[in-house]
Structure 1
């Protein structure tokens, strides 16, 4: 049974029905089905959730059923193809392209034999050049929940050649998982893709040197770990690791951090060199943990001393003429972004909110009872995947999965969430802490048209603190008619009251 021919046929059928080619999840489902792989195993391979893969599979079988004029399911797909020692299927696909009918004929020969590697097929056809990908700094993600609308938004921005994209969200919201899920869907649009974490706050000069080393090898061919491809080439792990001998210039494993250069050169070895490569090749650069280059105990988006040149870097990426893209993942918005967003072609921001009802999958996996209380739990914890996983584990451990017993307590039980929230709150300035404590002690959303008298802040300091907290995503805006109100999430309010940052 030739997997390459099956994929080609399926791609033609899907394109005829939808105008789109096989995506990487559909291709993984077809390959897995031919190899008797379960949806759960396929989901692990593509770093997605079993329910999402199952939904994609359901739509895939419907399309193939219409195209082949036979009821197709995952269970009978192999049997349909193996109907007889050799089954010749003649497909005639009529497409309407610029008003003309074009007929494409395909002959598919399916034989009773073990699935052989596409590498061993006779007369292999040349394939399109694959992008070089280095995701060495990217973490491994075991689960991904449905983020269809967010993925569509990001795909549209990338297709529109948006140069700078910020994905913002509290820790655990799924920024990294979303971006890793995005890459296989858009990788064919790029010549090269590189992922770097700023967790250890590397100086800009070191980061630029590292990026240029990778981009300067773009002319190399036959990368050792090609990404998912179409047309029968062997499928590789969706997130290849570094295999090209590039060593990170920045120290890892807790080694001493060298003081950053205050003004790295903007010549071929610095920012100018990066821009040159972004112009000569279509590149995607992902920078994770961007919040680490910002100062703590100051208003949001202020850079640490010596890291101000990152602001120049982001600004020039957005404003220079090129077809590449830089994606920033952060807890808070860089201060330059607000001004750059006035030109949507150059800069866009996606604020990642919590999961909706798809978060129920977490409760199913944790074995929680009382499904009638699941929506309430999602609302309290604002659908944050990590928060819900932590709380679900605690409910299962302490209350045998009974949510009602957990909710019986007068105050929320934070448990291990306190450590996660502490990472956010230790970054706040004195004025932000005052505003957060005031909001946490309000029984309902409030207006900010007037500064509360009990806060020892000037009106200007008060408004700056509110704006900074919005950039950190720590307060929520509620629209009630023509009134704009502000509040804090229940979990954050409980953390503030428990830790008594300020009594207001």
Structure 2
């Protein structure tokens, strides 16, 4: 195997493994040990080139092999590193993949060194679970960012986060409509019923193996592990309602018992070489799917906010709400499309006048909005519930120092709960201060009253 191609493959894969597990990229010594090992050099030979001690390099190498072993689940050492990486790359670049790549070379187009076959003319899309939604309100900036991450920066996994009703599904649908032609396969699945990973994997493989009209007479394709399909073909997979994999009553992102195979799959998506992309959407995301910064090492995170004033006005204009300029209360719903549409529907159904609702303390909160928020409250850990109540009771936004002055919660628990609530989009952070929106305050008050039997 060409050593230069092996070095490119190894440096990219190992650097992402190190970043995922240690929150940093490989340093120069680690890169030197990796390159030297793949060139079958001894520690002494590598140390001589770097003018450092071979004992120190042995320590660096030992730690590097340990990190790789933990991530891949196999015992990796200096002696077997090259053979293990060669086997991995060979498994990706199967014979039919090689033939497709060679045909691209001979046609004069650039060759892709990642080992993934170029886009095929035969597309296998399954969008049967992609919801039919109404009008799309301007999210041009968010769309541009997502397209850049996926098409230009080859992001492998994207977490699209935000409170229920904020427009995650609508944005993802618009994205799919604009970029689906760039992929051999596009599959949209809802995890509303939290299927075991084996069931989801079998579902995907069935889509990939289903005969197309042009090859209906061909023999049935041999089934492969899901990750190998994503390595051989350029695929876009959207998993909606990802929060159903997470355990209620805990801080955001802890897997339910029995759902650890998803963790292993997401890890492979992050660390193994491929040109596919996985988009995860929900109220909360598994912790291992969130990078240490918003966009790094093939992983992107976008926390969706409410519509801007112009888009909010367009939404309200579409509802044909009379005297909408008098409904100042609607500004308190923070551009959440679901909340706004639900409130306007209630106003129109009951013919409510603006003068009947005079302050944020008497916000309209239709049952569907209240029930949806209460479902999210029921997922909170005890620490999160305490912190959310403290912030909801405050008349002004609270900084971290003020929050930590409360003696009923340990400082570390308060910070962890604060972080988790931010991930769930249940609190707002601005200028290092934290607050709760009027709608969530009222829903929380009603939730507490209901639990007390009022």
**Normalising by the residue count of structure 1, what TM-score does the alignment of the two structures yield?**
0.60
State the alpha-carbon separation in 2 of the partners of residues 372 and 342 from structure 1.
37
Residue in structure 1 matched with residue 440 of structure 2 by the alignment:
492
The answer to whether the 8 Å contact 2:160/2:303 transfers is yes
Q: 1:325 to 1:378 in 2, by over 3 A?
A: farther
Q: 1:469 to 1:454 in 2, by over 3 A?
A: same
State the alpha-carbon separation in 1 of the partners of residues 390 and 157 from structure 2.
35
Q: Secondary structure at the residue paired with 1:477?
A: strand
Q: Is 1:414 the counterpart of 2:414 in the alignment?
A: no
State the alpha-carbon separation in 1 of the partners of residues 320 and 375 from structure 2.
29
The answer to whether the 8 Å contact 2:124/2:207 transfers is no
The answer to whether the 8 Å contact 1:369/1:403 transfers is no
Residue in structure 2 matched with residue 363 of structure 1 by the alignment:
316
The answer to whether the 8 Å contact 2:133/2:170 transfers is yes
2:150 to 144, 158, 171: 158
4+ residue stretches of structure 1 with deviation over 4 A? Answer: 221-224, 340-343, 450-455
State the alpha-carbon separation in 1 of the partners of residues 231 and 330 from structure 2.
44
Q: State which drifts further: 286-295 or 314-323.
A: 314-323
Residue in structure 2 matched with residue 86 of structure 1 by the alignment:
none
**Normalising by the residue count of structure 2, what TM-score does the alignment of the two structures yield?**
0.66
1:298 to 246, 250, 256: 250
CA drift at 1:366:
2.7
1:403 to 345, 354, 361: 354
Q: 1:410 to 1:211 in 2, by over 3 A?
A: closer
What are the within-5 Å matches in structure 2 for residues 205-216 of structure 1? Answer: 205-216=198-209
CA drift at 1:342:
7.2
Instruction: Provide structure 2 residue ranges, at least 5 long, that are not aligned to the other structure.
Output: 1-119, 217-221
State the alpha-carbon separation in 1 of the partners of residues 146 and 162 from structure 2.
15
CA drift at 1:340:
6.0
State the alpha-carbon separation in 2 of the partners of residues 275 and 340 from structure 1.
24
The answer to whether the 8 Å contact 1:399/1:406 transfers is no
The answer to whether the 8 Å contact 2:291/2:299 transfers is no
State the alpha-carbon separation in 2 of the partners of residues 378 and 349 from structure 1.
29
State the alpha-carbon separation in 2 of the partners of residues 330 and 145 from structure 1.
20
Q: Secondary structure at the residue paired with 2:311?
A: helix
Residue in structure 2 matched with residue 5 of structure 1 by the alignment:
none
Q: 1:220 to 1:388 in 2, by over 3 A?
A: same
Q: Any idea what the Cα deviations from partners look like across 1:425-464, whole Å, max 9, x if unmatched?
A: 0101111111111100111111112545555221111111
Q: 1:390 to 1:223 in 2, by over 3 A?
A: farther
State the alpha-carbon separation in 1 of the partners of residues 138 and 121 from structure 2.
30
Q: State which drifts further: 365-374 or 454-463.
A: 365-374
Residue in structure 1 matched with residue 124 of structure 2 by the alignment:
132
The answer to whether the 8 Å contact 1:297/1:429 transfers is yes
Residue in structure 2 matched with residue 80 of structure 1 by the alignment:
none
CA drift at 1:214:
1.2
The answer to whether the 8 Å contact 2:329/2:359 transfers is no
What are the within-5 Å matches in structure 2 for residues 82-481 of structure 1? Answer: 129=121, 131-160=123-152, 161-217=154-210, 220-221=212-213, 273-339=225-291, 341=293, 344-356=296-308, 357-373=310-326, 376-400=328-352, 402-407=353-358, 410-416=361-367, 417-454=369-406, 456-479=408-431
Q: 1:322 to 1:404 in 2, by over 3 A?
A: farther
Q: CA RMSD in A?
A: 2.5
CA drift at 1:158:
1.2
The answer to whether the 8 Å contact 2:294/2:301 transfers is no
Q: Any idea what the Cα deviations from partners look like across 1:71-91, whole Å, max 9, x if unmatched?
A: xxxxxxxxxxxxxxxxxxxxx
State the alpha-carbon separation in 2 of the partners of residues 184 and 223 from structure 1.
26
The answer to whether the 8 Å contact 2:231/2:273 transfers is yes
The answer to whether the 8 Å contact 1:340/1:346 transfers is no
CA drift at 1:193:
0.5
Q: Any idea what the Cα deviations from partners look like across 1:218-264, whole Å, max 9, x if unmatched?
A: x735599xxxxxxxxxxxxxxxxxxxxxxxxxxxxxxxxxxxxxxxx
State the alpha-carbon separation in 2 of the partners of residues 486 and 287 from structure 1.
30
Q: 1:319 to 1:130 in 2, by over 3 A?
A: same
State the alpha-carbon separation in 2 of the partners of residues 150 and 223 from structure 1.
39
CA drift at 1:306:
0.6
Q: 1:427 to 1:478 in 2, by over 3 A?
A: same
CA drift at 1:196:
0.9
The answer to whether the 8 Å contact 1:195/1:287 transfers is yes
State the alpha-carbon separation in 2 of the partners of residues 410 and 188 from structure 1.
49
The answer to whether the 8 Å contact 1:368/1:403 transfers is no
Instruction: Provide structure 1 residue ranges, at least 5 long, that are not aligned to the other structure.
Output: 1-127, 225-267
CA drift at 1:132:
2.1
